[in-house]
């Protein structure tokens, strides 16, 4: 069984640890994954409430935008905890891997990331 991803109790603690991939104060303005605006069920840590998947820094690259390396995290709609799912990965590849599968659960998001970013996905 896989362990829980690395977590931070608040966005400010996450931002201190990842100053190059900060979670902004208003992450809902980022291009992130929200599972048809319902959020992703946290079946990994067991925390109540739905989560969003954010691609940092700056959100997932849109069509015509350059790709960049970054961090993929899950949050409770921009609030803590912040779970680090993958680090130093292509944000475009991570986005495409997730939206090709339209996962509804956090474990499915992690599985999609493993297919694309297997060497940089956090256990």
| CA–CA separation, 76 and 116 (whole Å) | 24
Q: Check pLDDT > 50 for residue 73.
A: yes
CB 91 within 8 A of CB 50: no
CB 16 within 8 A of CB 87: no
**Segment 21-39, tens digit of pLDDT:** 999 988 778 899 998 888 9
pTM score, two decimals? 0.90
What is the per-residue pLDDT for 3?
A: 63
Rounded to the nearest 10°, the torsion over CA 70, 73, 77, 81 is -130
Q: Check pLDDT > 50 for residue 123.
A: no
Q: Is 103 helix (H, G, I), strand (E, B) or coil?
A: coil
pLDDT band of 2, cuts 50, 70, 90: low
């Amino acid at each position: 069984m896989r362990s829980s991803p690395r977590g931070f109790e608040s966005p400010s603690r996450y931002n201190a640890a990842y100053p190059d991939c900060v979670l902004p104060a208003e992450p809902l303005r980022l291009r992130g994954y929200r599972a048809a605006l319902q959020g992703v069920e946290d079946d990994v840590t067991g925390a109540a409430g739905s989560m969003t998947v954010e691609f940092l820094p700056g959100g997932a690259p849109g069509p015509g935008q350059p790709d960049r390396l970054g961090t993929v995290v899950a949050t409770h709609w921009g609030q803590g905890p912040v779970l680090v799912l993958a680090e130093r990965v292509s944000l475009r590849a991570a986005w495409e891997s997730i939206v090709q599968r339209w996962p509804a659960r956090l474990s499915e998001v992690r599985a999609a990331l493993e297919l694309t970013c297997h060497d940089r996905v956090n256990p």
